[in-house]
A = this chain, B = another copy of it.
């Protein structure tokens, strides 16, 4: 793919390695390429493991859940750090509907013995953080409040198919306490399906077969969940993200000038049953006492008992959750480095900063990396390399509760973003190991791949790209790069506004959402030398500088055609499985038209870049047209499962919350095995592809000048 595109090949000696490597950089005229290569080389010398370590340590001193004073202290640290780096910093406050912390939680066996169950991590001598007084017990934000005692039903992962299987086996969960294991879907859906099936309460635990002794040595001896480790997390499942009370609108401060209409919480589809997480040491007390029929294949976990569907009448457990919620102030912290030439063209980098405990891996390894990069960009500006376009580094609040902070900001600055935003790069928990990976919207995939060719792996004596490529079985297709879905702060940018987005990082082990996710754990098991932070900052830095300084924005048009045709085939197959002979050939033909046009664009662009070496060129109209390409997928009618999801191209799977759905209009229809709305979707997709086609024509028109 790369070789068919407009490229300028520059040979550059990477100082840190002993070989000369051909570097492909898209979108630069030969007149401007030299300075760019200088800037990139300088930038790559700046982020250091020491700098990353210092930020990470400072960010993760104490537990900092969204809405707490401790989280405000983190916000202040980041603001100060970015100011020092020379950025203009703004705090964007919102008043959103949030739990006031874990509230009152009781989880215990009632019969055959009265036995309270532990729901907080053990204090460990090795780990000074584990004794922090402000650590919360395990809890699920947006649990209902209630006090339920009942018999137990095990529901495996609590997926749609698990509850269906229970019903098929004649097991009712009505009035019972459901116990389900983490994994297989977003935890919020476990609560949604349990409540829909009539459960009185839900206990979620991490099974040792999924993360625990069955996987390897447990904390503190190894990185896996020990019998006290708990995954915290929100169970919010609405058909929009952001503040539950202000869909589509920013939850501006109550005391501000602009008054925003808020829903009554009673009118919002929040869960009503109590939900709480426990560790497997506590789940053992339940499973060891269950008396019913054994589970079907695939439901057995790693506790030393045959798992059973029901506990029987002799076993009753109580779950009480009293979790008051109220409108709470949160802050996004956004630093801006204004572009020297195109201040109204924005590249936005972001990561949330609120955490379930200390957040050493999730999210603040990403936060520390962004601060490390901010320091580097500041130094670069001082050295005379101010980027031509505006770079924003955003630290989002309350992502853990349901992507709240970023969504409110996106809703507040919808118009500016739609006009100005070139791309959004997400760095949530981005630096936890030495293995690079990423997902991206089509037009950003080549940018990510090219940037990894410019950065050396800190341990491997080869580039990040080479190390990445070595992990695929089909190297001829390039490295494995995912299709972006939901799960973090890119979602509002990508699925609500149609801003090309990516998520990337160097990953390793993580103690996901547990009380042990602290600096000691990070240093012991994630990255003892803090190499991933500095290296990821270089990859993000190179991607950013290329977008910021290119003559022509290096968003790849050809990739739209390629990916669209692939995803149309996938959707077609999904529909054919219940609707024989169904064809999306007409839309595929449109996708092929886009591919053909992309080839013409590349030829014209190459000529235009050649001419630009000799004559002054006004790039702005062309780039303005490029910025609008992805917006063609935005359709205000949204998805059938939620109007807020406005991108026809990408969404998160509304059943699991995790998986990426490409062409979600069709996929949702397929999930219902319905044909009813297919004509409507064909028309809406056709219109979007037509708009994209027209917009590419517009782009080509500007390359011809």
* Measured CA separation A264–B635 after assembly (Å): 89
Tell me the nearest residue of chain B to A213, going by C-beta.
B306
Query: Max chain B CB contacts within 10 Å: which of A217, A300, A304?
Result: A304
At the interface, yes or no: A562 with Cβ under 8 Å from chain B? no
Q: Are A304 and B302 in contact, CB atoms less than 8 angstroms apart?
A: yes
Distance (whole angstroms) from the CB of A554 to the closest CB of chain B: 40
Q: Are B208 and A294 in contact (CB under 8 A)?
A: no
Q: Flag whether A458 is at the interface (Cβ < 8 A).
A: no
Interface residues of A in 212-235 (CB under 8 A from B): 213-218, 222, 224
CB distance from A310 to the nearest CB of B (A): 13
Q: Which A288-305 residues have C-beta < 8 A from chain B?
A: 294, 300, 302-305
Within 8 A of B (CB), among A324-363: none
**Inter-chain contacts of A302 with B (CB < 8 A):** 302, 304
Query: Are B303's CB and A222's CB within 8 A?
Result: no
Name the distance in Å between A609's Cβ and chain B's nearest Cβ: 48
Residues of B within 8 A of A208 (CB): 304
Tell me the chain A residues, 257-284 only, with Cβ under 8 Å from chain B.
Answer: none
A-side interface size class: 10 to 19
| B294 engages A217 (CB within 8 Å) | yes
Query: Which of A217, A224, A294, A306 has the most chain B CB atoms closer than 10 A to its own CB?
Result: A306
A216-B294, A217-B294, A294-B216 as given contacts; A222 in contact with B306, CB under 8 Å? yes
Interface string of A20-55 (1 = CB under 8 A from B): 000000000000000000000000000000000000
| Closest residue of B by beta carbon distance from A221 | B306
Interchain CB contact under 8 A, A304 and B306: no
Q: How far is the CA of A304 from the CA of B288 in the complex (A)?
A: 13
A213 to B213, CA, bound (A): 17
How far does the alpha carbon of A217 sit from the alpha carbon of B305 in the complex, in Å?
A: 8
Give the Cβ gap from A427 to chain B, nearest Cβ, in Å: 30
CB distance from A394 to the nearest CB of B (A): 39
On whether the beta carbons of B294 and A214 are closer than 8 Å, the reply is: no
Q: Are A222 and B294 in contact (CB under 8 A)?
A: yes
Residues on the B chain within 8 Å of A294, using CB: 216-217, 222
Which B-chain residue is minimally distant from A301 (CB atoms)?
B214
Expressed in whole angstroms, the Cα–Cα distance for A208 and B306 within the complex equals 10
A603 to chain B, nearest CB (A): 45
Nearest CB to that of A218 among chain B residues? B306
Closest CB in chain B relative to A382 CB, distance in Å: 49
Separation of A218 and B218 alpha carbons in the complex (Å): 28
Closest-by-CB residue of B relative to A208 is B304
Which residues does chain B contribute within 8 Å of A222, judged by CB atoms? 294, 306
In-complex Cβ contact of A305 among B213, B300, B305, B306 (8 A): B213
A303 to B209, CA, bound (A): 11
Q: Which of B213, B215, B304, B306 contacts A217 (CB 8 A)?
A: B306
For residue A419, give the distance in angstroms from its CB to the closest CB of chain B.
51
Residues of chain B lying within 8 A (CB to CB) of residue A303:
304
5 smallest CB-CB distances across A and B, nearest first, come from A304-B304, A213-B306, A216-B294, A217-B306, A217-B294
Q: Hey, which bits of chain A sit against chain B, CB under 8 A?
A: 208, 213-218, 222, 224, 294, 300, 302-306
20 example contacts (A-B, Cβ-Cβ < 8 A) are as follows: A208-B304, A213-B304, A213-B305, A213-B306, A214-B300, A214-B306, A215-B300, A215-B306, A216-B294, A216-B306, A217-B294, A217-B306, A218-B306, A222-B294, A222-B306, A224-B306, A302-B302, A302-B304, A303-B304, A304-B304
Known: A208-B304, A213-B306, A214-B300. 17 other contacts (CB 8 A): A213-B304, A213-B305, A214-B306, A215-B300, A215-B306, A216-B294, A216-B306, A217-B294, A217-B306, A218-B306, A222-B294, A222-B306, A224-B306, A302-B302, A302-B304, A303-B304, A304-B304
